Amino acid sequence: MSELVKSPAIGDESPVPAAPAAPEATPKQLTQWGEIRHRFVQNKLAVVGLVIIILLFITAIFGNMFTPYDPGAQDLENTLASPNGTHWLGTDALGRDMFSRLIAGTRVAMFVGLASIFFAVLIGVALGAIAGYFAGFADTLVMRIADVFLAFPLMIGAVVIILVTGRGITPVIISLAVFSWATVSRLLRSSILSVREMDYVHAAKALGASGGRIVRTHILPNSLTPVLVYATFNVGTTIIGVAALSFLGAGVPVDVPEWGNMLAAGQAFIGVHDYLWLYPSLFVVVTVLGFAFVGDGLRDALDPKLR
Residue 182 has pLDDT above 90, yes or no: yes
pLDDT in the model for residue 64 = 85
For the chain, how long is the longest CA-to-CA vector?
106
pLDDT band for position 2 (50/70/90)?
very low
H-helix or E-strand spanning residue 45: helix 44-62
**Phi–psi pair at 84, nearest 5 degrees:** -150, -175
Compute the distance between CA of residue 13 and CA of residue 271 in angstroms, rounded to an integer: 97
Compute the distance between CA of residue 180 and CA of residue 47 in angstroms, rounded to an integer: 27
pLDDT tens readout for residues 128-145: 988 988 888 999 999 999
pLDDT tens readout for residues 146-164: 999 998 888 888 998 998 8
Residue 10 has pLDDT above 60, yes or no: no
pLDDT tens readout for residues 224-246: 888 999 999 999 999 999 999 99
* C-alpha gyration radius of the chain: 29
Interval 301-307 mean pLDDT: 67
Three-class SS of 210-273: CHHHHHHHHHHHHCCHHHHHHHHHHHHHHHHHHHHHHHCCCCCCCCCCCHHHHHHHHHHHCCCC
Compute the distance between CA of residue 119 and CA of residue 179 in angstroms, rounded to an integer: 11
